Amino acid sequence: MIDVENWQAEMLDINPWAREAWKIRSRLVEEKVWNLNAIDQGGNKPTRDWLNAFSTERTQASLHRWRRGRDAWAGWAARTRQVIDAFDAAGLWDTRSPGSPLIRAQDGKSALANHSASMPEYTIGFLMADILLLARADFSGLAIEPGADFSRHDFPAGAAFWDINIGDGANFEAACFGDRTSFSGMRTQVGAHANFQKARFERADFTMAAIGAGANFADTVFGAPSDFQAATIGPRTSFEHAEFSESVCFAGANIGDGTSFSDARFGRGANFQSVIMGRKVSFDRAVFNGGLAIPKQKPNRAPSFNGARFYGSRPSHIVTEP
């Protein structure tokens, strides 16, 4: 039985590599200068300095755990999920807005992110940011070899894959990604033929990512609002039968030739504003339960919507066939 009041001891037992860094964090708390103003973001210099060193250790620990094999990863994930489930059962697990509370400028006119030199009020958001430091997996900034196998891996508290170079043929099939999973960043390269088929994302962020040709997101489930804004999506990428349970944003994305959203289901809204659309992109038989925002394309780049169904607002320039 996990005791949520002793979460630090539980998480350090799961992540013994973090013990020395956590002692330094405890000193910052005692000195009342500890301030995580958002997930993995320090609100003042002492916290930022600590994070820089800690993030490097966390990345290396995640990489080492993955290289030890599937059983080592599964054991870590199962114990991490027990902690999350204990907080959830106590009504305390809420990762929507991790970090310390906002403070207002002294003139009272504008809300500013909290960069206070002193430790702010310890809210539930602040607690969530602290827990996620230890609960998230972190591969940010790494170069992962071609054919890397993350299939069926569980990331209970999400994962950081931002600014990463993932080689061709990486396999994430049926992986389960918790909240706050990010493959974002202008330096993020996901190699050709990456396989995310049947993966599950609580919340996915692929903002500005470069996704190689032939990537497979077929049958993938995206939970909370997901973001592919300004992403480059290679030719022949498949989102067939994918489910975007809430809203999804592809605004400003470059969508390659032959990309298919056929039979996909879109929840509250699908934003494709300002996209650069390749040839022969398909939304055939897709279901739009909310609004669709997509610009009119030139005839040789107009995507097909044959058999698509619309239960929200439908742009007038979209023509469908049965």
Please report the pLDDT score of residue 59 as a whole number: 98
**pLDDT at position 104:** 66
Given the DSSP bridges, would you call strands 41-42 and 36-38 parallel, antiparallel or unpaired? Answer: antiparallel
pTM value > 0.85: yes
Dihedral, CA of residue 15, residue 21, residue 22 and residue 28, to nearest 10: -160
Residue 44 confidence (pLDDT) above 80 = yes
In the predicted structure, residue 107 carries a pLDDT above the cut 70: no
Query: Is the distance from CB of 51 to CB of 43 less than 8 angstroms?
Result: no
Task: Please say if the pLDDT value at position 113 is more than 80.
Answer: no
**Unique residue bearing structure tokens 């999973």:** 181
| pLDDT (average), residues 259-270 | 96
Identify the three-state secondary structure at position 80.
helix
The answer to whether 195 and 217 are in contact (CB under 8 A) is: no
The amino acid that residue 260 corresponds to is: S
Region class of 236: left (phi > 0), else alpha (psi between -120 and 50), else beta: left
Domain spans, the chain:
4-133, 139-322
Q: Which two tokens stand for residue 21?
A: 């860094």
The neighbour count for residue 141, using CB atoms within 10 Å, is 17
Contacting residues for 9 by C-beta, under 8 A, at least 6 apart: none
Mean pLDDT score of the chain, rounded to an integer? 93
Give ∠ CA 252-98-84 in degrees, rounded to 5. Answer: 110
- pLDDT at res. 213: 97
pLDDT category of residue 112 using cuts at 50, 70 and 90: low
Q: Distance between CA atoms of 155 and 144, rounded to whole angstroms? A: 17
Determine contact, residues 206/228, Cβ cutoff 8 Å. yes
Q: Are 162 and 183 in contact (CB under 8 A)?
A: yes
Q: At residue 53, what are phi and psi to the nearest 5 degrees?
A: -70, -45
Q: How confident is the model at residue 316 (pLDDT cuts 50, 70, 90)?
A: confident
Q: How far is CA 170 from CA 70, 126, 196, in A?
A: 15, 34, 9
Asked if pLDDT for residue 148 goes beyond 60, the answer is yes
Quick one: average pLDDT of 303-312? 94
Which run of H or E residues covers position 283? none
